Structure 1
């Protein structure tokens, strides 16, 4: 294994380039207010004014309130549905799984625009029923509800799979030994579900505090501003406030790290393991007279979370004009035709986005595999530090990465810089999305163990040949699935693209955002529909690859 030690400095250098340098410059800019002018004068001179600013306190309080409120609503929706799906024979269970995954695949800013078109005065709801709900939508409660309907799927799937894997069988055992259904749930099912529930709620909190599109579209109209919109405002409004943006970025990252540590504290010492071997297949419990009410609940959530925003997106994309309303004679494909006209900005945006997303998928796949292999197979203190560094991208929201990239690579003394080129966008995508292939490769490598590599080394096979002919073929399906996810997410990423896109270029997300901003909503929604369809197909392919990978590993 000595020959694999070259991977430690290689992986460390790449992580420093993608993660360490941007993070360092955020901290330096927060300390030295004149860093952008090449001066280290007056360190911390602005700190008292910044930390004492009521705006900073208000933005932080709003961000925390929004994140916690979204977590609560996601738990209220996702946990009951997940428990029902895991414990009982829910009618049309596979159908509900598919349709409840769709909200998580719809970019939040597109979902927010769909809700505006649906609920605003003169919107589709008023055209169909005569009422509108603009008062609810453009309020704190409306923002929370829209974000929760977009994110609760993470809680639903985490809870349902955790209950299904062990909770259902062990709850039956508890019932046999005299426990009531509620006792079995509180003392058996819930403890087993707790780690998965905590992890999913952490994901919801982190996603909600770093989301830019929904707060920018909805919350600002309600006079509710958060850290993400505050950071973007300091870059877009004159005079540009780099120290303020850096300080807000640090506060946002501290919140994300605090959520991660809170999850570790909740689950520390609370992990439960079974010692009964491989779980036996059990039949889910019947719902009896509750079949219809449960179906109604699932249908109602599906209608709100999936069908309503998708209806608004599709209706806008397929109608000639918004003023024409929902009428047969207003149906048109002209928005789609406009996207594919020769020389259109849409074609250019798709070509640019898909090329960048493909490059990000390939590079993060390679880097994530090498990092996972290095951490699992190479001993030493340096590897422990490397393992800790791989956690940093999880705690860096997209806007923090973008701020760090700007501060690091827009320095006047740099002889060569990727700033204002497609390279900096690629670096930002890699930093943001590296955790996906890293986790998939880590899980795959832990499943196959190291005995096959040891056997190859014993028989005189070199390190590079062992890596190429044994390790990579076994982890390729899992990493391939992660690369598909990276491609799908990178091709629609908004906030980093908004701050870092080179002059004169557009990504798909920027094209959609600017169409909304310019009033060309129909063409923006046509592009949105294509984006959603592509994301769904890629995630289905990723799911198929993941299942194939597990079957191959089990065959070994």
Structure 2
């Protein structure tokens, strides 16, 4: 008998083999959904609809005439052109860079492939606004669309590299062998066989990059490039949640929904699983000529220099210039403490909020539960500034006691980052045998206690991974914290932003370095999980 199940037994219960015949009918069917868990799922799902409802209600209250006046202005057209141009230029470049580097590190004889693979993932540890800080302090004249595209590609291409590289490791080369036996050249095999199998990975990574582009504030504010997010923040600061900021938030939310629809359309209904018995074998890497290998090494070195060399050298330069005086421990330690407190509490609350939906989706899959699960993802697809504006409006009008309190901040974190915990937790619960949970219930343990004492113990690694991802997302979160945090709240991100706004790059460097050091464990976890999923 397993240890979690033995602890779930009533006192003095003797070990016994629980057979399917000994179980009640409800247990054999997987039990019925616990009512209070279902209620929590519905409540959290409805709460996740808050940002989208906020956009719709504001539009109705504003009226068509005012909407036309606010939206059909040259300024809105300029923001739309900037935002759309940014997405249309950055996403394809990230796809090209992510797929190219993934092929080199996974399918070629590039020297030092494991090292280059790790270096391609490492830029995730550097927050996007720290990338911008490094480049602006190196080239102060850097600004505009070209600068936005350059820094965005540098900051976000790993989100495409990771899924593409993981997919390339798992692909069965049988289809490629068949194509080669039919006389297809290596180039045609890649375009007609390999690339179509990367469709899901490319689509998912492109969606993630696009949503980051729409939500990012610090990166573009620092290089003086106006997008919807920077304009909304400026409007909020000047008019305090005025109609103009709300209307811009509505347009931004519609852009996010459009990206979601495009990704779903691109994904389609095609299946990519291998059919047949047996196991997939590894493919022999393509041999590079000495000249091509040297060129590819130069390319990987240039990417590493741009993505990691510039931020680290810039930070090192400012820290050397500041010396020991650049470390203001009297403000740095409190900021670190508040960051750790917010991140830890937010990760715990978000993971707890994800438990009901994860359990229902695994134990009681149904069309209705899939609808509730989809609601959980809507808020995370909205930019943090839209979530923050929705919470500001709701708390001012209907929940004034919690306005600008930590409760509102934690609520924003749950809405924005719950899917990160949900995905990992759901995977962990799926690996926990349902029979153990049913056996515990058949021995008199309540469904809630069986979930807590049996299933969650077995799913603990997945829950820990999800909590770690939420923890580090909160560590680098900027926009919602700036808008919602109580007066006196100073995290590493907000302190860094305050100092860079004053062009005090020397004093900002320690805060940036600490954020990178806190992000390194998650980056290692992502890289390790990616390789372990392929058995490497």
Cα distance in structure 2, aligned partners of 1:74 and 1:410: 40
Cα distance in structure 1, aligned partners of 2:261 and 2:434: 31
After superposition, what is the alpha-carbon deviation per residue over 1:87-136, rounded to whole angstroms, capped at 9, x for unaligned? 1232212211222222222111111010011123xxxxxxxxxxxxx3xx
Task: Confirm whether residue 506 of structure 1 aligns to residue 495 of structure 2.
Answer: no
- Closer, same or farther in 2 for the Cα pair 1:449/1:196, shift >3 Å? farther
After superposition, what is the alpha-carbon deviation per residue over 1:318-372, rounded to whole angstroms, capped at 9, x for unaligned? 322xxxxxxxxxxx23212x2x2xxx23222222221111011111112223211
- Closer, same or farther in 2 for the Cα pair 1:544/1:147, shift >3 Å? closer
Task: Confirm whether residue 333 of structure 1 aligns to residue 317 of structure 2.
Answer: no
Q: Show the counterpart of 1:38.
A: none
Instruction: Give 3-state SS (helix, strand or coil) of 1:287's partner.
Output: coil
Instruction: Give 3-state SS (helix, strand or coil) of 1:171's partner.
Output: helix
Q: Show the counterpart of 1:99.
A: 119
Q: State the Cα distance separating 1:293 from its structure 2 match.
A: 1.9
Task: Confirm whether residue 88 of structure 1 aligns to residue 108 of structure 2.
Answer: yes
Q: Show the counterpart of 1:554.
A: none
Instruction: Give 3-state SS (helix, strand or coil) of 2:69's partner.
Output: helix
Of 66, 82, 103, the match for 1:62: 82
Say which structure, 1 or 2, has more relative contact order (CA 8 Å, 6+ apart).
2
Cα distance in structure 1, aligned partners of 2:394 and 2:433: 39
Q: State the Cα distance separating 1:542 from its structure 2 match.
A: 6.5
- Closer, same or farther in 2 for the Cα pair 1:545/1:153, shift >3 Å? closer
Q: What are the within-5 Å matches in structure 2 for residues 334-349 of structure 1? A: 334-336=325-327, 338=328, 340=329, 344-349=330-335
Q: Show the counterpart of 1:300.
A: 302
Q: Show the counterpart of 1:202.
A: 207
Q: Show the counterpart of 2:226.
A: 225
Cα distance in structure 2, aligned partners of 1:163 and 1:150: 22
Partners of 1:452 and 1:470 within 8 A in 2: yes
Q: What are the within-5 Å matches in structure 2 for residues 261-300 of structure 1? A: 261-277=261-277, 278-289=279-290, 290-300=292-302
Q: State the Cα distance separating 1:460 from its structure 2 match.
A: 5.8
Instruction: Give 3-state SS (helix, strand or coil) of 2:321's partner.
Output: coil
Q: What are the within-5 Å matches in structure 2 for residues 70-149 of structure 1? A: 70-120=90-140, 134=141, 137-149=142-154
Cα distance in structure 1, aligned partners of 2:126 and 2:40: 36
* Deviation larger for 96-105 or 352-361: 96-105
- Closer, same or farther in 2 for the Cα pair 1:454/1:183, shift >3 Å? farther
Q: State the Cα distance separating 1:449 from its structure 2 match.
A: 6.0
Q: State the Cα distance separating 1:285 from its structure 2 match.
A: 3.0
Q: State the Cα distance separating 1:516 from its structure 2 match.
A: 1.1
Q: State the Cα distance separating 1:241 from its structure 2 match.
A: 5.3
Cα distance in structure 1, aligned partners of 2:156 and 2:255: 19
Cα distance in structure 2, aligned partners of 1:251 and 1:76: 29
Cα distance in structure 2, aligned partners of 1:505 and 1:32: 33
After superposition, what is the alpha-carbon deviation per residue over 1:30-65, rounded to whole angstroms, capped at 9, x for unaligned? 3224xxxxxxxxx44412212322222221222111
Instruction: Give 3-state SS (helix, strand or coil) of 2:34's partner.
Output: helix
- Closer, same or farther in 2 for the Cα pair 1:543/1:147, shift >3 Å? closer
Cα distance in structure 2, aligned partners of 1:217 and 1:55: 20
Partners of 2:90 and 2:153 within 8 A in 1: yes
Report the number of matched residues. Answer: 503
Partners of 1:349 and 1:511 within 8 A in 2: yes
Q: State the Cα distance separating 1:190 from its structure 2 match.
A: 0.9
Q: State the Cα distance separating 1:424 from its structure 2 match.
A: 1.2
Partners of 1:453 and 1:470 within 8 A in 2: yes
- Closer, same or farther in 2 for the Cα pair 1:462/1:446, shift >3 Å? same
Cα distance in structure 2, aligned partners of 1:60 and 1:176: 49
Q: Please, which runs of 5 or more residues in structure 2 have no aligned partner?
A: 1-30
* Deviation larger for 257-266 or 465-474: 465-474
Partners of 1:440 and 1:479 within 8 A in 2: yes
* Deviation larger for 300-309 or 532-541: 532-541
Q: Show the counterpart of 1:329.
A: none
- Closer, same or farther in 2 for the Cα pair 1:155/1:437, shift >3 Å? same
Instruction: Give 3-state SS (helix, strand or coil) of 2:271's partner.
Output: coil
Cα distance in structure 1, aligned partners of 2:286 and 2:531: 26
Q: What are the within-5 Å matches in structure 2 for residues 392-403 of structure 1? A: 392-403=378-389
TM-score by length of 2: 0.87
- Closer, same or farther in 2 for the Cα pair 1:547/1:466, shift >3 Å? farther
Q: State the Cα distance separating 1:182 from its structure 2 match.
A: 2.0
Q: State the Cα distance separating 1:284 from its structure 2 match.
A: 2.6
Partners of 1:477 and 1:548 within 8 A in 2: no
After superposition, what is the alpha-carbon deviation per residue over 1:380-424, rounded to whole angstroms, capped at 9, x for unaligned? 56424312212212321111111111111111x54x532111221
- Closer, same or farther in 2 for the Cα pair 1:470/1:241, shift >3 Å? closer
Partners of 1:64 and 1:209 within 8 A in 2: no
Q: What are the within-5 Å matches in structure 2 for residues 70-469 of structure 1? A: 70-120=90-140, 134=141, 137-166=142-171, 168=173, 170-218=175-223, 220=224, 224-237=225-238, 239-240=239-240, 242-277=242-277, 278-289=279-290, 290-320=292-322, 332-336=323-327, 338=328, 340=329, 344-378=330-364, 382-411=368-397, 414=399, 416-448=400-432, 450-454=434-438, 456-457=440-441, 461-469=445-453
After superposition, what is the alpha-carbon deviation per residue over 1:264-297, rounded to whole angstroms, capped at 9, x for unaligned? 1112033322114432234433324332222111
Partners of 2:95 and 2:157 within 8 A in 1: yes
Cα distance in structure 2, aligned partners of 1:542 and 1:334: 35
Instruction: Give 3-state SS (helix, strand or coil) of 1:318's partner.
Output: helix
Cα distance in structure 2, aligned partners of 1:83 and 1:545: 19
* Deviation larger for 540-549 or 501-510: 540-549
- Closer, same or farther in 2 for the Cα pair 1:549/1:309, shift >3 Å? closer
Of 17, 21, 24, the match for 2:53: 24
- Closer, same or farther in 2 for the Cα pair 1:481/1:380, shift >3 Å? closer
Q: Show the counterpart of 1:36.
A: none
